[in-house]
Amino acid sequence: MLLLLGTTLALGAPPAPDETAAAEPTPRDRAAWSMLGQLDDKAVLMVKHLPDNIDNGCPTDIAWVTWGMAKTDPWGNDFQMKCDDSTGRKALFSSSGPDGMPKTADDIIGWEPLVEATACVSGCERLRICAGKSAAPDCQETCKKAESKTHFRVDTCGLLADCTGVESCVGSALRGYGGMADCKAFGVAAASTFGGNKAAVAKLKKVCEADLLHVPELVCVEDSKTALDASLCHLTVDRRWATDIGGSP
């Protein structure tokens, strides 16, 4: 016993978990952050083209910004907007996260990076696994010089269930574009979530083809366990169709 105790003291106790380390964003976190970026882009366009709905450089109501898109986040809670130019932007968008309570630790903040710059490496590694070492050989170097949106997009591309979509997704991300979901892959994910309901899957694929769903939304669907959870992943479309196939979000 004394020998074991001495050995333990010599080696030292195992290191305590790093409580300050950021948790890996969930697929639902990613869908929310992606949507916040789209709301930001839309607000910028509104300032230029819809001055009647702008006050001091900020939309007068978030309803103008979310018009034609989802009004709620992937947990079914309203998106938040505040007008504050301290960050260089007028309109700032956020989600209250899984707990539905604003200003808590799990909030998704649109004007702050969701992933670290090093997260890009994971997407690059997945690309090499899926498409070989010759695919995008400068992936990691490009990531190092890129902005936070690219880090997020490449990392999210690496989470796609189907390898066939990873190469085109990462390629688009490295060029600065947000990847669109492959509707065939979306149909596969939907079929799993909807338990073989062919009519529901067909309807979902139509939504995908008409509205060009984004990769973070597809990753969110692939991670969903129920039809309602899957419907909440769709943020760039009007969710009225979800009432028929998954229940009202």
Residue in 127, 124, 129 with CA at minimum distance from that of residue 143: 124
The pTM of this model reads 0.81
Q: Are residues 147 and 195 in the same domain?
A: no
91 and 139 co-located in one domain: no
139: containing domain: 117-174
SS3 195: coil
pLDDT at position 19 over 50: no
Residue 1 lies in a domain: no
Q: Please tell me the predicted confidence (pLDDT) of residue 89.
A: 67
Q: Are residues 164 and 191 in the same domain?
A: no
pLDDT at res. 238:
52
Q: Assess whether pLDDT exceeds 60 at residue 31.
A: yes
Dihedral, CA of residue 152, residue 158, residue 162 and residue 168, to nearest 10: 70
Cβ pair 205, 237 in contact under 8 A = no
β-bridge pairing 54-55 and 58-59: antiparallel
Look at residue 15 and tell me if it is in a domain. Answer: no
CA distance 30 to 25: 7
- Domain-embedded: residue 207: yes
Q: Are residues 155 and 218 in the same domain?
A: no
Q: Spell out the residues 6+ positions from residue 57 whose beta carbon is closer than 8 angstroms to its own.
A: 47, 83, 85, 90
For 54-88, how does the pLDDT look when each residue is reduced to its tens digit (9 = 90+)?
Answer: 888 899 999 999 888 888 999 999 999 998 876 66
Q: In the chain, pLDDT over 70 holds for what percent of residues?
A: 79
The Cα 113–Cα 249 span in angstroms is: 27
Residues 6 or more apart whose CB falls under 8 angstroms from that of 92 comprise 81, 82, 83, 84, 110, 111
In this structure, the answer to whether residues 157 and 215 fall within a common structural domain is no
Q: Considering the domain boundaries, does residue 11 fall inside one?
A: no
d(C-alpha 179, C-alpha 157), whole Å: 8
Per the structure, how many domains does the chain have? Answer: 3
pLDDT above 70 for 218: yes
